[in-house]
Structure 1
Amino acid sequence: MSLATYSDLLASVAAWANRADLDAIIPDFVTLAEARINRDLRLRMQLVSTTFSTVGGTRSQALPSDWLEFQNLDVSGGASSAPLNYVPLGYMEEKFPDNGSLGKPSIYTLQAGNFLLAPTPDIVYTLKAVYYAKFPALSVTPTNWLLTNHPSVYLNACMKEFSLYTMNDERAARWEAMYKSAIKDVQDADDSALSSGSALRVRAG
């Protein structure tokens, strides 16, 4: 059976599960699987570059909807550019309370779908970011890079969710082991290619 599209994956999970009564719930297995995969993988194919423009007197910036994690975040002003360093939210609130001092940002933190800058920008600055993006959800697009190149990751993750749903701990453990092995293979191959000197490919945001 082909595993090239979302419909293929739904049909394959139904076939592996050998259940004819789960058509309504199998899409949930895919959604849960995708959430886990996005937590577990950080591949070069997920890297996206983009820019933000600050607003004077405002320290909050909305994160992109597909954002998972920053690889780099730099601030540019005038002729100079410098990296922004991540700090815990508590540290920022202690050192820069209530949107306090104004200036060129040097640190950032994360809060509820936003990233916060400190000092609070006093003027417009350009922020240059490279971040890991979520794989496009298969319920929105028929396929994506991961399904095309590593369908076992999707199938194993979905079958783990099916086993949990049917409360079959033994099968869940087997699918979990296969999922972890597939994830490790994909991540190790990507890390190895990067360390061997392959060019880093950054997709435009």
Structure 2
Amino acid sequence: MALNDYAALQSKIIEYAEEISVDEPIADFIALAEVELNVILKHYRMETEAVLTSTANAVELPDDFLEARLIEVDGKMAVRVSIYGDVLNFDEIGYYQVGNTYKIVPEQDEPRTVRLVYYRSLTPLSDANPTNWLLTKFPNVYLRASLVQGYKYFDNPRMEASEQAALDKALALVDADHRRAFNSGNTIIFDGGMA
């Protein structure tokens, strides 16, 4: 059986773990795995872009926001400043984070256009959404992360540790793929020199 969708993942979890049957909360194991994976994963396939319009010199971050890669305000690269006071050079635009919001400084009356390139959370698997990029490209990560959660549920530390080790190896492959993609192509040049 190919491990290419939500139903196949659930079946494979049962197949791999003798303790887990169809009566167990397998969907919960997968959901808990996704929560932990969102904290540790960083991959180019998680990148997305949003163009936002400020209201009262602030933009609310998207619901799937994990980490910013680029913030431009009105076409200019924004500078991260302290929440306690901004120190900006002439013609710079700054931002700071308060909760789920980026505040833009200096303040102005007109709305601003904010281009945000960021890492987004995984699209959760479900019957309605049976696959995502991670399950398609790295099904072993989903399987191992879900099995770790299953063995936690059954309080089986020996098998949990074994699956965690397998998950760590699978995550190393995801990281290698990410680094390869980011380090390929042309050399980045700035300030007249090479990076």
**TM-score normalized by structure 1?**
0.79
Secondary structure class of the residue paired with 2:131? coil
CA shift digits 1:142-175 (9 cap, x unpaired): 1111101110000000011111111111111111
Q: Give, in angstroms, the shift of residue 21 of structure 1.
A: 4.6
Q: Distance in 2 between matches of 1:49 and 1:36?
A: 23
CA shift digits 1:36-78 (9 cap, x unpaired): 11222211111111211112xx1332211111111100111xx
The 8 Å contact of residues 160 and 172 in structure 1, kept in 2 or not, is answered as yes
Which ranges of 4 or more aligned residues in structure 1 deviate by more than 4 Å? none
Q: 1:164 to 1:41 in 2, by over 3 A?
A: same
Q: Where does residue 74 of structure 1 map in the other structure?
A: 72
Q: Where does residue 190 of structure 2 map in the other structure?
A: none
Write the letter of the residue equivalent to 1:95: G
Q: Give, in angstroms, the shift of residue 24 of structure 1.
A: 4.6
Q: Distance in 1 between matches of 2:29 and 2:161?
A: 16
The alignment covers a number of residue pairs equal to 181
Please tell me whether residue 138 in structure 1 is matched to residue 131 in structure 2: no
Write the letter of the residue equivalent to 1:190: H
Mapping of 1:111-122 within 5 angstroms?
111-122=98-109
Write the letter of the residue equivalent to 1:127: V
Secondary structure class of the residue paired with 1:120? coil
Mapping of 1:1-205 within 5 angstroms?
1-19=1-19, 21=21, 23-55=23-55, 58-76=56-74, 81-87=75-81, 91-92=82-83, 94-95=84-85, 106-139=93-126, 140-197=128-185
The 8 Å contact of residues 105 and 121 in structure 1, kept in 2 or not, is answered as no
Q: Distance in 2 between matches of 1:174 and 1:86?
A: 42
The 8 Å contact of residues 108 and 116 in structure 1, kept in 2 or not, is answered as yes
Q: 1:122 to 1:176 in 2, by over 3 A?
A: same
Q: Give, in angstroms, the shift of residue 126 of structure 1.
A: 0.9
Write the letter of the residue equivalent to 2:78: L
Secondary structure class of the residue paired with 2:3? coil
RMSD: 2.1
Write the letter of the residue equivalent to 1:34: E
Q: Which structure 1 residue ranges, 5 or more long, are not aligned?
A: 97-103, 199-205
Secondary structure class of the residue paired with 1:95? coil
**TM-score normalized by structure 2?**
0.83
Q: Distance in 1 between matches of 2:112 and 2:172?
A: 39
- How many percent identity over aligned positions? 28
Q: Distance in 2 between matches of 1:164 and 1:121?
A: 52
Q: Distance in 1 between matches of 2:177 and 2:65?
A: 23
